[in-house]
């Protein structure tokens, strides 16, 4: 019997050998000694007896036995050899008695290289074993921030220190931290035995189904896919799911996993595309076209949120534009714990297009889109990295640049104030664009940065202490807020606020174009633009969705400046992020004559060198801001390595 099995294993080895040769690769097992010749190591640590995932045993420690095996550990020495006889005898012993003696192996970069027990590994792999007991010595490479593989390995070391888990297949940076967060753990607390058993059980089912579906088509590991899964579905719910349920959900999420396969995950659509303006043939001769039902879902009320109010202006605009061709309704004050039900109810009510206007609604929007792929669901988020829903946002930094240029020209004491709400994606672009505008018209002026949502800090008092008279405040007031602390304003000697100019978000322009593309039957055409990447609409002044308006209090020279800059930005001849400019620490962030791309601008995590202030940590913020910052915070991404 053992000789028959050896022949089968031999055929597998020969097949792997030929495949490697045809690709110009070495057909033999990797040798750790050879690998370490090109690597600086930091230490060797004994891990003792460890259960090692058999799939992670990839090579041998020294070259002595490497030519007896193909890369997949299957034998390649001819039948009848002494090696074949020993292999067959070992097969019989393992089948009858199981593995009694652990192998010896070295672990390097979370891969294992056998020092003693190559034949045992070969037989176990052939028999389909999941793991093997091994006495393991870990070889740790020196830290090198320029080497992504070493960076990822150090992430694994931190994960292993907390969990003792070595079987998660991860190929992308940041995944280990995402797994900790996704399973309800923090980044410092060690797991209990129950935690480990729960994870092992859930991951085993997910990994099995993912591997069957993937078949090595995507260059991501099961761990990467599972981390993405946990961003959408509850870990507690996952503990109770069957293989069949995982199979269905993995199939539904396949577009998300395909997107993870890309190095660049997000495609920014900067203006209405030709594809979205095309008319589908089925729309040329409409037969009784029904009213298009559209739902706007807000996490806050219109009366007390300037953000919701601005989107409601957009909803009313499209209702006026399309008249009885659409029915645009709104649902307010939707909490995250009820959002799933709200989306389901909106779909059940017949809405074919849903705009979720807060990043905090992203998870519910995504789950609804996965469950109802026929519904067009969009979420107002910056750099949304999901394929099943589309993100949308506006390039407000263009308007802030103009406001900054005006502010710099008007300040009399060399100080300009800037009030920001949340340290989330996009806000740093707006702060820095404003600062660069100030710098353009007044190179010596400073921007005093304050955050409205920082605890125990009175931003009005801070501005007053520095005698800041020209201030960029909130972009728009809520309907119940009667103050004049919005847009760019001047504080008069008597304390009155004199409005000068105001950036404007015209969400209705964006909503109008998206709805027209739906009506034309061309909405899906934008998928041709993004391919497998996440699609994000990111429109600016060139599309009419962003503008700067001014009051009669603005001096004539500043009005001319505003108009000149607006025209240049609308025509895409002026980029607010054109160098040279530096950050606060003196680092040159853009060379003379070069410009940042929109993708680079919205992921800025630094402040320009003429800004006096800082980016606050989440612990410093009011409770109202915490949830949003958890979803889209700049520093949260730093902590997660993403």
pLDDT in tens, 340-391: 999 999 999 999 999 999 999 999 999 999 999 999 999 999 888 888 999 9
Whether residue 292 has pLDDT greater than 70 = yes
**How, if at all, do strands 131-141 and 41-53 pair?**
antiparallel
Query: What separation, in Å, do the N-terminal and C-terminal C-alpha atoms of the chain show?
Result: 52
Pick the more confident residue, 530 or 605. 605
Q: Which residues contact 90 (CB under 8 A, 6 or more apart)?
A: 119, 120, 123
Query: What pLDDT is recorded for position 264?
Result: 59
Query: What pLDDT is recorded for position 486?
Result: 80
Return the minimum-mean-pLDDT range out of 30-39, 58-67, 100-109, 510-519: 58-67
**What's the CA gap between 245 and 187, in Å, rounded?**
29
In this prediction, residues 115-138 reach a mean pLDDT of 95
Query: What pLDDT is recorded for position 238?
Result: 95
**What's the CA gap between 603 and 588, in Å, rounded?**
16
Query: What pLDDT is recorded for position 379?
Result: 97
Query: What pLDDT is recorded for position 283?
Result: 54
In this prediction, residues 102-124 reach a mean pLDDT of 95
Question: What are the structural domains, with CATH classification, of the chain?
Answer: 1-142 (3.90.1530.10), 145-261 (no CATH), 275-394+508-512 (3.40.50.2300), 396-506+543-622 (3.40.50.2300)
Exposure string (b/e) for 297-308, b if CB count within 10 Å is 16 or more? bbbbebeebbbb
Query: What pLDDT is recorded for position 642?
Result: 39
Query: What pLDDT is recorded for position 286?
Result: 53
Whether residue 279 has pLDDT greater than 70 = no
Whether residue 258 has pLDDT greater than 90 = no
- 400 pLDDT band (50/70/90 cuts)? very high
**Cβ contact 88:2 at 8 Å:** yes
Q: Is the previous residue joined to 580 through a cis bond, with omega within 30 degrees of 0?
A: yes
**Rounded percentage of the chain residues whose pLDDT exceeds 70:** 95
In this prediction, residues 8-22 reach a mean pLDDT of 94
**Cβ contact 416:447 at 8 Å:** yes
**What's the CA gap between 415 and 466, in Å, rounded?**
8
Query: What pLDDT is recorded for position 635?
Result: 61
Query: What pLDDT is recorded for position 638?
Result: 44
Query: What pLDDT is recorded for position 526?
Result: 85
- Give CA separation, 91 vs 4, 87, 88, 127, 206, in Å: 11, 6, 5, 9, 30
**Cβ contact 94:123 at 8 Å:** yes
**What's the CA gap between 260 and 532, in Å, rounded?**
9
In whole numbers, what is the pLDDT of the chain averaged over residues?
91
Residues 214, 216, 221, 223, CA torsion sign: positive
Whether residue 419 has pLDDT greater than 60 = yes
Q: Which residues contact 526 (CB under 8 A, 6 or more apart)?
A: 269, 273, 275, 276, 390, 517, 535
Main-chain phi, psi angles of 53, to 5 degrees: -65, 125
């Amino acid at each position: 019997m053992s000789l028959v099995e050896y022949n089968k294993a031999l055929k597998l080895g020969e097949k792997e050998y030929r495949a490697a040769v045809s690709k110009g690769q070495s057909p033999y097992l990797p040798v750790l000694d050879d690998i370490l010749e090109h690597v600086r190591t930091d230490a060797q640590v004994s891990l003792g007896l460890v259960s090692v995932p058999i799939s992670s045993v990839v090579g041998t420690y020294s070259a002595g036995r490497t030519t007896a095996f193909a890369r997949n550990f299957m034998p390649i020495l001819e039948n009848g050899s002494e090696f074949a006889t020993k292999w067959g005898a070992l097969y019989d012993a393992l089948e009858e008695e199981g593995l009694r003696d652990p192998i010896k192996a070295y672990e390097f970069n979370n891969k294992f290289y056998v020092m003693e027990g190559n034949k045992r590994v070969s037989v176990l792999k052939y028999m389909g074993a999941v793991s093997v007991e091994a006495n393991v010595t870990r070889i740790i490479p020196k830290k090198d921030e320029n080497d992504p593989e070493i960076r990822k390995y150090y992430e694994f070391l931190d994960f292993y220190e907390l969990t003792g888990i070595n079987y998660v297949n991860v190929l992308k940076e940041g995944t280990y931290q995402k797994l900790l967060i996704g399973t309800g753990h923090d980044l410092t607390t060690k797991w209990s035995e129950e935690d480990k058993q729960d994870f092992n059980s859930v991951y085993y089912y997910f990994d099995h189904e993912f591997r069957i579906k993937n078949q090595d088509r995507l260059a991501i590991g099961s761990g990467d896919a599972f981390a993405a899964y946990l961003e959408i579905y509850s870990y507690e719910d996952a503990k109770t799911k069957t293989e069949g349920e995982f199979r269905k959900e993995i199939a539904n999420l396949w577009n998300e996993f395909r997107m993870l396969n890309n190095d660049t995950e997000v495609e920014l659509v900067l203006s209405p595309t030709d594809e979205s303006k095309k008319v589908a043939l089925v729309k040329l001769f409409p037969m009784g076209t029904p009213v298009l039902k559209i739902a706007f879902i807000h996490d806050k009320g219109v009366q007390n949120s300037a953000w919701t109010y601005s989107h409601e202006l957009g909803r009313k605009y499209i209702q006026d534009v399309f008249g009885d061709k659409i029915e645009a309704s709104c649902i307010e004050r939707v909490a995250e714990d009820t959002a799933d039900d709200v989306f389901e109810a909106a779909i059940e009510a017949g809405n074919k297009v849903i705009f979720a206007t807060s990043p905090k609604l992203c998870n519910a929007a995504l789950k609804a889109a996965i469950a109802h792929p026929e519904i067009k669901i969009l979420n107002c988020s910056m750099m949304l990295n999901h394929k099943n829903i589309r993100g949308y946002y506006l390039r407000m930094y263009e308007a802030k640049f103009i406001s900054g240029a005006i502010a710099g020209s008007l300040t009399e004491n060399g100080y300009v104030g800037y009030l920001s709400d949340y340290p989330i994606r996009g806000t740093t672009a707006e702060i820095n664009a404003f600062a660069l505008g100030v710098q353009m018209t007044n190179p010596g002026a400073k921007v005093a940065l304050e955050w409205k949502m920082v605890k125990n800090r009175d931003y009005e008092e801070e501005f007053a202490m520095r005698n800041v008279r020209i201030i960029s405040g909130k972009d728009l007031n809520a309907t119940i807020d009667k103050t004049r602390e919005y847009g760019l304003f001047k504080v008069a000697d008597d304390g009155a606020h004199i409005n000068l100019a105001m950036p404007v978000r015209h969400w209705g322009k964006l909503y109008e174009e998206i709805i027209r593309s739906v009506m034309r039957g061309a909405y899906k055409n934008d998928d041709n633009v993004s391919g497998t990447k996440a699609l994000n609409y990111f429109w600016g002044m060139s599309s009419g969705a962003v503008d700067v308006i001014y009051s009669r209090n603005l001096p004539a020279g500043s009005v001319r400046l505003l108009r000149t800059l607006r025209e240049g930005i609308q025509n895409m001849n002026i980029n607010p992020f054109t160098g040279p400019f530096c950050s606060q620490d003196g680092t040159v962030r853009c060379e003379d004559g070069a410009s940042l791309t929109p993708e680079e601008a919205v992921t800025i995590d630094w402040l320009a060198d003429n800004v006096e202030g800082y980016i606050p940590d989440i612990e410093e913020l009011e409770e109202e801001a915490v949830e949003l910052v958890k979803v889209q915070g700049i520093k949260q991404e730093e902590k997660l390595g993403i």
